[in-house]
Amino acid sequence: MVLKEITRRFSVRNFSDKELPDEIIKNILEAGRLAPSWLNTQPWHFIVVKDPRNKSLLSQLTHGQPHVESAPVVIICCGDKDAWEEEIYRKTIESKEGITPERADMLLKSPAFNPKLKGDDAVTFRTLEQLTYAIAYMTVEADTNGVGACIIGGMGNELTGSVPEVYDLARKTFEIPENSMILTLLTLGYPDESQQKPEKTRKSVDDVISWGFYGNKVIK
């Protein structure tokens, strides 16, 4: 029953100076590590950043978003394109129970299951798709620990091509391997309690939910 936490959670952009214990950071990361992913590919890697100079660099990467610099901790959420390389992906697929080599061949030959067949963009999108679940889990775990978080997607990286020089520097600074990308950041810290909690604004149930077919509002 996590609906209470999901309802309560909001993006925190103002943090107190209180230090975030490593044990809590580890719990948050564990929630991400255990998230579901496509055929269990787990194409992710998380880097915990606390160093002020490095957080400042990450803030530059996000066009100067101040909460990236002021957050006590920033998690760099990297996507690992190697996870989809045939040899590695085949091993992942075959390690799943009940998958025969013939079935693995079929999956590897189908663009529905093998994004590499659709090119680099598809690989990037599929990788981000997997990361999204891990990040969502981490935000909820953060909230249950009383920790505020903000997902940061407005940044320079392979997806946006924005601020390429800063991105190159960030790749070097954080020693990102060649086939990995920085796709998202997650800022973490205890919320500054003097800040007012924003009202949760969402589209209505009628706007976003149908039963049986698009637009039908009556439960069938």
Ligand X SMILES: Cc1cc2nc3c(=O)[nH]c(=O)nc-3n(C[C@H](O)[C@H](O)[C@H](O)COP(=O)(O)O)c2cc1C
Query: 130, exposed or middle or buried, with CB in 10 Å at 0-12, 13-18, 19+?
Result: buried
Rounded to 5 degrees, what are φ and ψ at 52?
A: -55, -40
Strands 148-152, 44-49: parallel, antiparallel or unpaired by DSSP?
unpaired
Q: Is 120 left (phi over 0), alpha (psi -120 to 50) or beta?
A: alpha
Counting contacts by CB under 6 A, is residue 140 touching ligand X? no
Q: How far is the CB of 32 from ligand X (least distance, A)?
A: 14
For the bound state, the minimum distance from the C-beta of residue 200 to ligand X, rounded and expressed in Å, comes to 6
Is 174 near ligand X (CB under 6 A)? Answer: no
How are strands ordered across the β-sheet holding 73-80?
Answer: 44-49, 73-80, 180-189, 148-152
152 in contact with ligand X (CB under 6 A) = yes
Q: Which is nearer to ligand X, 108 or 136 (CB)?
A: 136
Region 61-90 residues binding ligand X, contact defined as CB under 6 A: 65
The only residue of 2, 4, 6, 11 in contact with ligand X, by rule CB under 6 A = 11
92 neighbors 39 (Cβ within 8 angstroms): yes
φ and ψ at residue 127, rounded to 5 degrees: -65, -45
Nearer to ligand X, 106 or 154 (CB): 154
CA distance 51 to 206: 45
Is residue 195 part of the contact set for ligand X (CB under 6 A)?
no
Per-residue binding letters, 199-218, with ligand X (x by CB under 6 A): -x------------------
Q: Considering only 45-53, 71-79, 102-110, 151-159, which stretch makes contact with ligand X by CB under 6 A?
A: 151-159
- H helical segments located in the chain: 3-8, 22-33, 52-61, 66-70, 86-94, 101-109, 120-144, 164-173, 205-208
Please tell me whether residue 154 binds ligand X under the rule CB under 6 A: yes
Q: Which residue in the shown chain puts its C-beta closest to ligand X? A: 153
Q: Which is nearer to ligand X, 154 or 169 (CB)?
A: 154
Interface segment toward ligand X; rule CB under 6 A; list 6-14, 43-51, 69-77, 188-196: 6-14
Q: Which residues bind ligand X (CB under 6 A)?
A: 10-11, 13, 65, 150-154, 200
